Structure 1
Amino acid sequence: MHDQLLLYSRGMRRNNTFTIKFLYALIWVMVLSGVALPAYAQKTKHAAKDTLTTKNVQDTTTVKSKGTQNKSQLTDKIVYQANDSIVFYGDGTGMMYGNGDIQYQKMELKANYIRMKMDSSLVYAMGTKDSTGQLVGEPSFKDESNQFDAKELTYNFKTKRGFIHHTVTQQGEGYIVSDLTKLTSDKTFYMSNMQYTTCDHTDHPDYYIQLTRAKVKPQKYIVSGPAYLVIEDVPLPLALPFGYFPFTSKYSSGIIVPSYGDDFTRGFYLHNGGYYFALNDYMDLALTGEIYTKGTWAVNAISTYVKRYKYRGSLNFSYRQDITSEKGMPDYGKSTNMSIQWTHSQDSKASLYSTLSGSVNFSTSGYNRSNINNVYDPTLMSQNTKSSSINFSQRFPNSPFTLSANANITQRTADSTINMQLPNLTVTMSQIHPFKRANTVGPEKWYDKIVMSYSGSFANSIQTKENKLLHSSFSRDWQNGFDHQIPVSATFNLFKYISITPAVNYEERWYFKSVQQRWNSNTQSVIRDTTSGFYRSYNFNASVTANTTIYGFFIPNRKIFGDKIDRIRHVFKPSISFTYNPDFSNPIWGSYKTYDKYVQDSQDPQRMDKETVLYSPFEGGIYGYPAAGKSGAIGYSFSNNVEMKVKEKSDTTDQPVYKVVSLIDNFSWSGSYNLATDSLRWSLINANLRLKLPFSKSYTLNLSGTFDPYLYGLDANKNPVHINQLRWAHGKFPRFMGTNFSQSFTISDQTFKHNSSGNKENTNQEQPSQQTTLMNNTDIPSLYNAQQDTVKKQTKPSSSEVDADGYEKPQFHWSLSFNYSLLYGQSSIFNYHTMEYGMQWTQNLSLNGTISPTPKWNINWSASYSFANKQFTQINIGITRDLHCWSMSAQLVPVGYYTSYMVRIAVKSSLLEGLKYQKSSSFQDNVNWE
C-alpha cells in the first residue's frame, strides 16, 4: 500500500480541478473545503451498533427468519431480524419492532421500527420514542457506496430508489445534513435544504453553510444552487448563486484559491494563490504566489516527500521582491530576498550503518523584515542568528573506522555575516590495542595495555558578507586544510592503589597555502604574501597522570552526639599530572619564521632601530598552528565528597534503618604550575562546589569560581599587568575573580495541592519533574507542558471533581516559571589605589506562566526584566477561548520593541480555515525606535 503524503491542503485531497463563479472569496474557501466532499462512502456519526442476534435478546419474544423470498418482486434472499417482534399481515405487509435489521444483497437497513410490503418491495423505517420521550433507533442505511443516518426513510429494493427525511452524513472533519433527499437508481442524490458544518452538534450547529438545493453524483460532481452562511441561526449576507464541484477520493492535483486583503505600504493584494501538483504517491508540490498593487510580488514552492521505513522530509523555497510606498516618496523602498527551508530525516530501519539528516534554514538578512507574514511575530522579527546543517555518517562493519561528513552555515542577520563550513569530513578510528597478543599466554604484558586511536578531518570554511559570498576567491578567501591526531596511552597500577597513565599525543596539519611576511620600511607596515602549495605543520606533547582514591571515616563521640549520626565518610580523589610541550618556535621544527622590522628612533630620526619579529606562516589557519614557548606544567586536581549516615526510626522488627545524607556532593579545585617559564608559573585556580539541598532529593546547587594568585602592577605605559608577586607571599588570599549562577523554577496549583495533601506517594511522583528541571537549569518545558495537557484533557468533570452537593467544582489551573541568571565578575575598571580591578553584578530575569480559570479559557504570558534599566524589556500576553467548533484568540505585546496586538476568531477545522475574522495592528506604527 502506497504511502500517502501530508498534502499542502487537506481540502485538496479529494479535489483535482474545479470551476466556480463566486461573489466573495470567504464563501469560496468554505464551500470548496467543505461541500466538495462526497456525501457517500463515509461512516455516519450516528451509525448503529453491530447487528444483534437472538443470543443477545432478553425480550419475551424474539423472532429471526432467513430465506424469505418473493419471486414476483425480489431476485435474492432477504435476511431480517428484530429484538422485540415481527408481525405479518395477509396483504404481504410485515412490521418489525425493536432494533430491526434487514439485509438484501449488499444493502443493510437498521431501525427501531421497519415496515415492509413484500408485493411492492417497498420498505419504510423510522425511530421510536422511549419511556422518557427521546427518539431512539433512528434508521441507519448502508450499501456498497453509501452510508447515512436519517429520521425517516422509504426505499424500494427493486428499483433502488428512496426518499429520505433529515439525512446526517459525516465527511472527514465535517457533517452534511439534508432535510429532504431523493435517491435514484443510478446512485444520484437530490438534496433540498442542505447544511454543511464542522460542528458535531448536527441538530443545532453553531454555524453552517446553507445550500438550498444540490445534486450529488457519487465519484463525479456536486452541483448546488444558492448558498449562504449562517452563524448562530443568523443568516449572513454572504452568498453564492450556484456552484459546481467535481471531486474524487484519490490523491490529486488542483487549484489553490488566493486570499485577498489590503496593506498600508504595499496596497491591495492576492495572497497564496497557485496550483497543487500531486506528483506521485511519494511526493507533492505546491506552487503559490503573491502580488500587490504597488509592485510587490513573491513566488513560493512547497514540497513534502515520504517513503515508509526509508525517509521523510519537506522543502520550502521563497523568492520575493518587496516594494513599499511609491517612487519619489521619502519612505520608498525596494528589496529582493529569498529563503530556503529543508528538513530531511532517515528512518532508523533504513540502514544499520549509514544515516543522513538535514536541517536547513537559510534566508537573506532582510527576508524576515520585508515579509509581511512575519512582521507580527516577535520571535521571527527578533531572530538574529540562523543555523543550518546537513550530516552524513557511515560505519563499516567489522572495522573500527567511521566516516562522517557535514555542512554548516551560521548567519547573523543583524550585519549579514555568513560563516560557512562546506564540507567537513572526518574519519575516526576507535581505540585499538596494536601490540596485544592474539593468544595471550601467562600474565598480561605491559605492551598489551597500550591503546591508540586516530582522528582525521578536512575542513573548508569562509566568513564573509552575503553580497560577497558568490564573488569570493577559493584560494584567497576560503580557509581549508587537513588535521590528523593520533593519541597513544596505557594505564598501569603502581603500589596497587595508584593508577598511572602515560600518554603521547601527535597532531599534524596539512595546509594548501602559507602567508609570508616582510617589513616595508618606506610605508612602515607589514607586507603579507600568500603562496600556494602543500605545507606541513606538526606538534606533539607527552604527559603522565597519577590518581587514586582515599577514604576516611569519622565516628562522632556517642556521649556528646548520641547514636543519631552513625558515621561521616570523606572521599578524597587527588590527581597529579605532568605535561611537556617543546618550543616549536625553535628553527629546528620549521614551524616559525622571522623578519627584521626597522623603526625610526623617536629621539634620533636618522637612526633606525632593528627588531626581529617571530611569526608563523600558518597564522589564521583553520586548524591553528603549534604554540611558541616550551611548557612543562605540573597539573593538580583535588576532589572531595562528604556524606553522613543518619539513623532513622526503627522498623517493625526493631532493626535500625539508616539513610545517607549528602553534606558536600563535590568540592574540587584545580590548576597548574609551569616549570618551563621564568615567571608567572602558577595558573588561575578553578574551584567548584556542588551541594544537594536537604529539602529536595534531586535539587542540586552548583557554584563555580576562579581565583587569581598574582598581584597587579603597572607597565611602562601605566597600564595594569600581572607581576611576578604571589598574593599569599604578601599575606593575601588569591583574588576571587567571579562566578555565575543560573536557575529555573516552576510552581503551579498542583505543587501546592500535593504538598498540602500529605500524601507522600503523590508528592514523590510530582516533585521529581520539578526538581529535575531545577537541577538541569533547563527552560522548564516538562512541567509547563504537563500543565497545558492537564487543562486540555479536563474538559469534562469526573466523579472526583464534584462537591458534596453534586455540583461541578471550579477548575482553576495555573503555573508560574522563573528563569534567573546571576554573574558576578571582574569589571573593566581598574582601581589604581587598591591596584585591583573592580567587581560588578549582572542579572537577568525572565518569567512565563499560564492561567486557566475554566477548561475553556487559557491565558499565557511571558516577560523579561532588565536589572540594568530597572524595567521590563518585553511582555507578551496571549488569550484563547474555546468556543466549541470556533476558537477566539488575542495576542498583545504592550512592552517591547514590536508593540502590537492581534485579535482572531476562526473555525477550528482545517477544512474551513478561511472562515475567520482577524484584526491586527500595523507594525510600522508600533515599532519602538528608542
Structure 2
Amino acid sequence: MFINMCGFAQDRPNSGGEIHPVKKGDSVAVNVNSILKPKEAASTVELTEKGQDSIKNDSVKPKPEFLTDIVNYKAKDYTSFNRKEQKLYLYNEAEIIYGDMEITAGTIVIDYSKNEVYAGRIKDSLGEYSQHPVFKQGTQVVEPDSIRFNIDTEKALIFNSRTEQAGGFFDSEISKKENDSVYFVQNAKYTTSENREDPEYYFLLRKAKVVPDEKVATGLTNMFIYGVPTPIGLPFAYFPLTKKQTSGVIFPSFGEQNDRGYFLQNGGYYFAINDYFDLAVLGDYYTNGSYGIRLESKYNVRYKFNGNVSFRYENLITSERGFDDYAKNTIYNIRWSHSQDTKSSPNSRFSASVNLGSSSYYQNSINQTNVSSFLNNTLSSSVSYSKTFQGEPQVNFSATATHSQNTNTETINMTLPTIQTSVSRIYPFGNKTGSNKGIIENLNFQYNLIAENSITTTDSLFFKKEMWDDALMGVQHSIPLSTNFKLFKYFSLSASSNFEENWTFNTINKYYDTDLEEEVTVDKSGFDAYRTYNFSTSLGTTVYGMFNFEKEGKDRKIKAIRHVMRPSVSYNINPAFDNYWDSYEVVSADGLVEEEVDFSRFEESLYGAPNQNFSSSVGLSLSNNLEAKVRAKDSTATEDKKITLLNNLNFSTAYNFAGDSLQWSPLRVSGGTQILDDKMSINFGAVLDPYALDNNNTKIDAYNINNGGSLFRLTSANLTMNYTLSSKTFSGEDESRENSRNETLRSGGRADDLFGVAEDFADQRLNNNQQENQDEQKESGSLYNYKVPWSLNLAYAVNYSNSARQNEISSHSLMFSGDVEFAPRWTVGASSGYDLKNQGFTYTQLRFERDLLSWRMNFSWVPFSSRSSWNFFIGIKSSILQDIKYEKRKQSDDQL
C-alpha cells in the first residue's frame, strides 16, 4: 500500500505541469565523403563548403511532431498519466491550454496514441452532472456535454453543444468541427431568445452548415413556438451571422388601399458601402400603377462630421384610366442634415438642415413614416458655412442659403445666398490693460456687410427658370457706433447711432396713365443706393424688493418673496429722407389734378424704402421677476428652497412726439412662469389699446376713457400651457423613442408626439429604443403595480380677438399625448386633441404594443377622419431575423 501511494503521488504535480515537444533526430544520416565525385573533374575539383551544404538536403521528409507547442494543464483532484494506454487523465476543474485552444471541464483525457483530447462532465454525489466542458479556440466558444478533439486535424465531435453566434444561439445534438471556419450540425435549435432553457421560439435545423461570424446554410427547417411545431418552414434557409455591416435585401410589408389596390411598401436593398457611408434603396408599388422610390443614406467620419441624406419620390395614381375621377400626381421631398465636430476645425464650420419638396408631400404621401408630419404647414432649410479670421480686429465671414415654404399657400421664400461679413468691435479709446470705464473708453464701433439674393416663388415654379424672374438682390453696409456708462451710480445709460448704406439693383418708376386711367409701374435694372442714419439712447436700472414673512418663534412655510424690477426708458430719432421720394399727379378726364401720390423708387427693392416721415419717440418698458423662499419639504435640508413665481412679467409702450395723431402705441403685456416643479409652463400675453373706436369700428384719435369706456381696450389676448410628465421624470431616466422623434423633427414636426408618432414597425432604425428589461419589477410574485411606467404631454392654447368689437375666441384647443404600461409588457398610447371652439376631436392616433420577449407586436390605429387607417405588425426583435415578420396595413382612402 505504501508503494502504491507513493507511486500515485508521483503522478500528481502540485502546480500542474507542462509537456514540451520532443525533438526527434533525422531518420536518414548522410555522409558527404561517401558521395562519389564527378568522374571528369574528380582529380582536379574538390567539393567546396557550399557544395557540401547543397547536397546535405535530406530526400526523406521527417514525420511531423505530435505536439508543436507547449501544453499547460492542471486539475483540482488529480492528474494521472497511464504509460501503457498513453493517456493523461485530469479530474475535477480540469483545464488544458494548447496554443489558441483552451478546454475547461470536469474531466479531460489526452490520448497520445490517437492524438485526441476528450472532455466531459462529472457526476456529483446526488447523481447530477456538473462542470460542463467549455471549448475555446480563438473567438469561438462552445459549451457541450462532451467533446472529442483531434489535435492533428483540429477536427472535433461535439455532443449537445451550446454556442452563441452574432446574437443567435445554437443548441445542437451533434456538431462536427471541420476546421476553424466550418461546423456541421445535426438537429440543432437556433434562436435569439435569452431564455436558453425554455426559448419562446426556435428553428429546428435538421442538417446545417455553420460558418462562424458569417452564415448558416440549412436544409429542411421549420419554426417551433414554445416547443410546438408550426407550419412555418422552408425546404432550405439561410441565416446571416455577421457582426459587421453587410448589404442585404429589405423585405417589404403589404396591405391594401381602396383606390390603389394591393401594395408592397418599404422593400428594397441595403448597401453597406464602407465604414463611413451606407445607402438604402426602398420602394413602394401599388397594383393600380402607383409607386414610390426612396434613397436613404447616412455618413459618419468620427471626430470630423456626420449626417444623413434622403430623397423621396412618389408617383400617385387615383382611380383607373378612362374614369372621370382619374388623376395622376407626382410629389417629392429632399432632406439633408449635416453637422460638424467643433474640434475638427475650430475657426470654420459647415452645417446643413434641409427639408424641401412638394407642398403636398406629407399630406398625400402613402408612406407610414409620414403619419406624424402631415399636419406640418411650414418646411424650412438652411445651409451655412462660417469662418473666423483671428486677429485684431477679428473678422467673421458666413455664407448661408435659406428656404421657407408655406404648404398651405404654396409660397416659397429663398435666399441664394446670404453673405455676411463683420468686424469685431473696436474701442479706439479703450483701456489696453484693464476694463473700460466711462463714456469715452466704452465708445466702440464695428462694420457689418450683408449681401442677399432673395427669391419669392410658388410650388409650381420651383426649380424652373421662371423662379428667377422676380429675384431681388441687394447689399447693406452698416456701421453702428455705441457707448455705455454708469449714471448716478445706480443707472445705466447707453447711446448708439447707426449709419446704413443700401445698394440695390432693382428700382421702379411710377406715373399715371391718363389714357388707361390707372397707375403704371415700370421696373428698372441697374445700380442705385441710398443712405440712412438714426440715433437712440436708453436709461435703465434694477430695483430689488424683499418682503420678509419670517417671525421669531414661527416657522412659516413662505419665508420671503423677492421682487426684481427693471424699468427702462428709451428715446429714438429717425430722420426723414424725403429726398429719396418722388410723386406723380392723378389727373381726371377734365384735366384737373385730383390727388398727388408719393412713391419711392426703392419701395420694391430688397430692403424697402427709407423713412419719409420724421419720427421722434420715447419707449417705456418694465420687466418683473418674482421669486419665493419656502420651507424645504425635507426636514434634514440645511437651506430653504427657492421657487419661481413669475419668470417674467413685461409691460411696454411708446409715444411718438412727431406723430400728428394716435401718438401712443398699444400697451403690450406678456409673461410666463413654471409650476408643479417646473413640469408645467404657462405663457400669456395681451394687447391694450388706449384709443376708442367709432361706429364703423375704426380707431379714432380719442382716448377710450373719454369716449365712455375704460382706460384700455383689450384688443387681443392669448394663453398657452404645456405640461410634460412621466414616471421616468422621478427616476431620472431619459425618454425613449428617440429615433422616432428625430425622424419627426427632420420632417419639421413636433417632438412631443402631440401630432402622433412616426411609425414604421419593420424599420429597426425607428424602433430600436425598446425598453430595457425590468426584471426586478416584472418577476413573478413582484408587485408590478407599485411602479407603472407612463408618460403624459398636454398642450392648451386659447386666443381672444377684439380689435373691431368682434369679442370672440378665435381659437381654443387642448392636445394630449401619452403612453402607459398598464400590465407587464403591455403598453397603450394615444395622441389626440379637442377643438373647444368647433366642438370636435383633432387628429387622433391610438397605439398598442406588446413585448413578447424575443418578439414584438404593435398595432397603430387612426379611428376617424379622412386619414383613417390601421397598421398591425408582429416580428422578431433581433436584427438578424428582422425579416421574419407579419405586417398588415389598411391605409386611408383618398376619396374620403
Q: Would you call these one fold, judging by a TM-score over 0.5?
A: yes
Please state whether the residue corresponding to 1:853 is helix, strand or coil: strand
Equivalent residue for 2:659?
Answer: 677
- Structure 1 residue 62 displacement after superposition: 6.7
- 1:479 maps to 472
Would the alpha carbon gap of residues 155 and 869 (structure 1) be closer, same or farther in structure 2, given more than 3 Å must change? same
| Structure 2 residue aligned with 1:4 | none
* 2:863 aligned counterpart, secondary structure: strand
Contact kept? 1:745, 1:780, Cα under 8 Å: no
Further displaced range: 152-161 or 657-666: 657-666
> Which residue of structure 2 lines up, in the alignment, with residue 844 of structure 1?
813
Q: Which amino acid aligns with 2:525?
A: S
**CA drift at 1:916:** 1.2
Q: C-alpha distance in 1, partners of 2:671/2:626?
A: 12
After superposition, what is the alpha-carbon deviation per residue over 1:392-435, rounded to whole angstroms, capped at 9, x for unaligned?
11111124221122212223334543222221111123322134
2:160 matched to which residue of 1?
Answer: 166
| Separation (CA, whole Å) in 1 of partners of 2:855 and 2:313 | 34
TM-score between the two structures when normalised by the length of structure 1: 0.77
**Which residue type is aligned with residue 723 of structure 1?**
D
Q: 1:710 aligns with which of 673, 686, 691?
A: 691
The 2-side partners of 1:82 and 1:854 are apart by: 50
The answer as to 2:205 corresponding to 1:211 is yes
The aligned amino acid for 1:452 is F
Q: Is the 8 A contact 2:719 2:797 kept in 1?
A: yes
Q: CA deviation at 1:861?
A: 1.3
2:656–2:663 Cα contact (<8 Å) kept: yes
Distance apart, 1:264 and its partner CA: 5.2
Q: 1:157 to 1:628 in 2, by over 3 A?
A: same
Contact kept, 8 Å, 1:545 with 1:578, in 2: the verdict is yes
- Deviation readout 1:209-243 (Å, 9 max, x if unpaired): 33322234679976532233333334343443346
Shift in Å, 1:451: 1.3
Deviates more, 1:182-191 or 1:487-496: 182-191
1:666 offset after TM fit, Å? 5.6
Check whether the contact 2:388–2:396 (CA below 8 A) recurs between aligned residues: yes
Q: CA shift at 1:923, angstroms? A: 1.2
Task: Give, in angstroms, the shift of residue 723 of structure 1.
Answer: 2.2
Return closer, same or farther for 1:551/1:470 CA change in 2, 3 Å cut-off: closer
Q: What residue is the counterpart of 1:3 in the other structure?
A: none
Q: Corresponding residue for 2:407? A: 413
- Structure 1 residues 780 and 891, CA, compared in 2 at 3 Å: closer, same or farther? closer
Give the aligned partner of residue 814 of structure 1: 790
| Match 2:848 to one of 872, 879, 882 | 879
| 1:795 aligned to which of 774, 788, 797 | 774
Partner of residue 153, structure 1: 147
- Cα deviation, 1:132-185, whole Å, max 9, x if unaligned, reads 776532222122474322222111223322211123332222223332222236
Cα 1:335–1:238 change in 2 (3 A) is same
Task: Give yes or no for contact 1:378–1:898 (8 Å, CA) kept in 2.
Answer: no
Distance of 2:70 and 2:563 partners within structure 1: 90
Distance 1:131 1:366, change over 3 A: farther
Task: Look up the SS of the partner of 1:923 in the other structure.
Answer: coil
| CA distance in structure 1 between the aligned counterparts of 2:709 and 2:250, rounded to whole angstroms | 81
Match of 1:738 in 2: 716
Shift in Å at residue 633 of structure 1?
Answer: 0.8
Find the aligned partners of 2:722 and 2:849 in 1 and give their Cα distance. Answer: 26
The answer (yes or no) to whether the contact 1:449–1:490 under 8 Å persists in 2 is: yes
1:101 is the counterpart of 2:95:
yes
Q: Of the candidates 614, 617, 620, which is equivalent to residue 598 of structure 2?
A: 614
Partners of 1:791 and 1:813 within 8 A in 2: no
- For the residue of structure 1 that corresponds to 2:148, the secondary structure is strand
Match of 1:593 in 2: 582
Tell me how far 1:351 sits from its aligned partner.
0.4
Would the aligned equivalents of 1:634 and 1:672 in 2 still touch at CA under 8 Å? yes
Structure 1: gaps (5+ residues): 1-59, 601-605, 755-761, 767-777, 831-836
**Which stretch shows the higher mean deviation, 430-439 or 252-261?**
252-261
- Bigger mean CA deviation after superposition, 528-537 or 359-368: 359-368
Structure-2 separation of matches of 1:120 and 1:205:
39
Equivalent position amino acid for 1:722 in 2: I
Amino acid corresponding to residue 442 of structure 2 in structure 1: K
Paired residue type of 2:582: K
1:227 aligns with 2:221: yes
DSSP-derived class of the 1:447 partner: helix
For residue 390 of structure 1, report the CA deviation from its aligned partner: 1.2
Contact 1:403 1:426 (C-alpha < 8 Å) held by counterparts: yes
Match of 1:423 among 399, 417, 422: 417
| Corresponding residue of 1:489 | 482
Classify 1:489/1:883 alpha carbon distance in 2 versus 1 (closer, same or farther; 3 Å): same
SS in 2 for 1:722: strand
- Shift of residue 564 of structure 1? 11
TM (norm. structure 2) is 0.80
User: Given the alignment of the two structures, is residue 824 of structure 1 paired with residue 800 of structure 2, yes or no?
Assistant: yes
SS of alignment partner, residue 851 of structure 2:
strand
Which of 666, 669, 677 aligns to 1:687? It is 669
Aligned length: 813
Tell me the percent identity.
Answer: 32
Question: CA separation in 1, counterparts of 2:169 and 2:560?
Answer: 73
Alpha-carbon distance in structure 1 between the residues aligned to 2:652 and 2:20: 96
Q: Residues of 1 paired with 2:100 and 2:279: CA distance?
A: 40
Unaligned runs of 5+ in 2: 1-11, 24-64, 734-749, 758-766
**Residue 37 (structure 1) aligns with:** none
Determine the structure 2 residue equivalent to 1:337.
331
- d(CA) in 1 for partners of 2:826 and 2:672? 42
The one of 603, 609, 616 aligned to 1:625? 609
Greater alpha carbon shift after TM alignment, 479-488 vs 292-301: 292-301
Which of 570, 576, 581 in structure 2 is aligned with 1:583?
A: 576
CA contact (8 A) 2:255 2:888 kept: no
Which residues in structure 2 correspond to 1:262-661 (within 5 Å)? Answer: 265-266=259-260, 277-287=271-281, 289-368=283-362, 371-374=365-368, 377-398=370-391, 399-436=393-430, 446-473=439-466, 476-549=469-542, 573-584=566-577, 586-587=578-579, 590=580, 592-599=581-588, 606=590, 608-639=592-623
Query: Are 1:138 and 2:132 matched, yes or no?
Result: yes
Q: Distance in 1 between matches of 2:268 and 2:827?
A: 36
Contact 1:344 1:357 in 2 (8 A): yes
Question: 1:811·1:854 contact (CA, 8 Å) conserved in 2?
Answer: no
In the alignment, the residues of structure 1 paired with residue 559 and residue 316 of structure 2 have an alpha-carbon distance, to the nearest angstrom, of 76
Q: Does the aligned pair in 2 maintain the 1:581–1:632 contact within 8 Å?
A: yes
Inter-partner Cα distance in structure 2 for 1:163 and 1:658:
72
Q: Matched residues in 1 for 2:409 and 2:547: separation?
A: 62
Q: Is the 1:229–1:235 Cα contact (8 Å) retained in structure 2? A: yes
Contact 1:305/1:314 (8 A) holds in 2: yes
- Do the aligned residues in 1 keep the contact of 2:691 with 2:699 (CA within 8 Å)? no
The question of whether the paired residues in 2 share the 8 Å contact of 1:886 and 1:906 is answered with: yes
Instruction: For 2:487 and 2:145, locate their aligned partners in 1 and report how far apart those are by CA, in whole Å.
Output: 92
Give a deviation string over 1:724-744, Cα, whole Å, max 9, x none. Answer: 446368684122333222112
Output aligned runs, 1:239-250, within 5 Å: 239-242=233-236
Change in CA separation of 1:642 and 1:411 when aligned onto 2, cut-off 3 Å: closer
Change (3 A) 1:517 1:83: farther
- Offset of 1:74 from its aligned partner? 3.8
Partner of 1:67: 19
Distance 1:465 1:887, change over 3 A: same
Alignment match of 1:864 (pick from 823, 833, 847): 833
State the Cα distance separating 1:349 from its structure 2 match.
1.9
Deviation at 1:197, TM superposition (A): 2.1
Distance verdict in 2 for CA 1:61–1:620, change over 3 Å: farther
SS at match of 1:329: coil
Structure 2: which amino acid aligns with 1:337?
A: I
Indicate conservation of the 8 Å contact 1:810/1:854, yes or no.
no
Q: 1:298 to 1:726 in 2, by over 3 A?
A: closer
Whether 1:913 and 2:882 are equivalent positions in the alignment is: yes
Pairwise CA RMSD of aligned residues?
A: 4.3
Change (3 A) 1:299 1:565: closer
User: 1: distance between equivalents of 2:664 and 2:685?
Assistant: 19
State the shift of 1:840 in Å.
Answer: 3.6
> 1:924 Cα deviation (Å)?
0.8
